[in-house]
Amino acid sequence: MGGRKMARDEENAYGREDGDDAPPAREPRLGLILVGRTGAGKSATGNSILGHRSFPSRLAAAPVTRTCALGSRRWAGWRVEVTDTPDLFSAEGRRADRGCAERGRCYLLSAPGPHALLLVTQLGRFTAQDEQAVRGVRELFGPGVLARAVVVFTRREDLAGASPHDYVRATDNRALRALVAECGGRVCALDNRAEGAEREAQAGELLALAARLAREHADAPFTNDVYRLAAELRGAAPDGGLRRVCERLAAGGPGRGRRGRGRWRRVLLLLGGALLLGLLLCRLRSPALQEISPD
């Protein structure tokens, strides 16, 4: 088993496989990505899901998570793969990721795509920074990605027994209510300080939600043209693959090619319309000119 783990670690240049409980390959994959602003509790949530401390998580003035990382576990017949992310979604984070290397790593690690995107936010603190992070998420994965998102509140202990649905219904934070609506009403709350059976029960709640979302899409992960490229290149030499995914992201991100083609089509249609109108006007004007002609 140990030898197998080493081989797996060597294969994967960027992530971490928690290989001791590595399942047989026939188990279906349940891919999850943790996204949201720095300090919301993404890494702590990842550790709760995995059932052990896999990702560094603590309160700090500077971001603790510096790079994307992958952790895995078995749960209810699924092979769960969790991708933790550093600050990829704020304006500063994106500026710092010049060349899109970290965003490219995120794509390669989570290829062929997530079944659920976990939008992590701290209970009672959905701020402008969280909204900016949501915009960053849309930009990185494409506008349709929220159809696969679950809003995960950390600090569940502050709910004092109430449900996260009740909390969302009662909040006067309109941006949060709008986000939850866009995510199909999927919400979950975790107390990441919980341990043992309580931690496992909370993880089970969240994983059941993610598994239901996967089933609703016939177990197919969320995908876009960058994921398709990443999946193709995942088996290739890591640096070569990373470079090509980064180039694709730097060129404008998912859907760019299709959007670009759509824009040109609209321009051509407008030009064609203008030409037709011009011809029509010419034809209408020529008999009128003939009528007033002295001959």
Ligand X SMILES: Nc1nc2c(ncn2[C@@H]2O[C@H](COP(=O)(O)OP(=O)(O)O)[C@@H](O)[C@H]2O)c(=O)[nH]1
Q: Which two tokens stand for residue 90?
A: 């704020």
Shortest-Cβ-distance residue relative to ligand X: 41
Site string for ligand X, 167-196 (x = CB under 6 A): -----------------------xxxx---
- The residue among 207, 241, 214, 2 whose CA lies nearest residue 109 is 241
Between the alpha carbon of residue 230 and those of residues 99, 101, 102, 144, 240, the distances in Å are 16, 13, 13, 18, 11
Q: Does 206 bind ligand X (CB under 6 A)?
A: no
Kindly state the number of chain residues that form the binding site for Mg ion, as judged by CB under 5 A: 3
Stretch that binds Mg ion, among 7-15, 16-24, 42-50, 268-276 (CB under 5 A): 42-50
**∠ CA(167), CA(171), CA(175), 5° rounding?**
115
List 45, 47, 48, 65, residue binding Mg ion (CB under 5 A): 65
User: Which x/- pattern over 161-200 shows residues binding Mg ion (rule: CB under 5 A)?
Assistant: ----------------------------------------
Q: How far is the CB of 59 from ligand X (least distance, A)?
A: 3
Which residue shows structure tokens 């177990």?
A: 219
Nearest residue (CB) to ligand X, 41 versus 104: 41
Among 30, 32, 44, 180, which residue interacts with ligand X (rule: CB under 6 A)? Answer: 44
**43 contributes a contact to Mg ion by CB under 5 A:** yes
Query: Footprint of ligand X on this chain (CB under 6 A)?
Result: 38-44, 57-59, 64-65, 154-156, 190-193
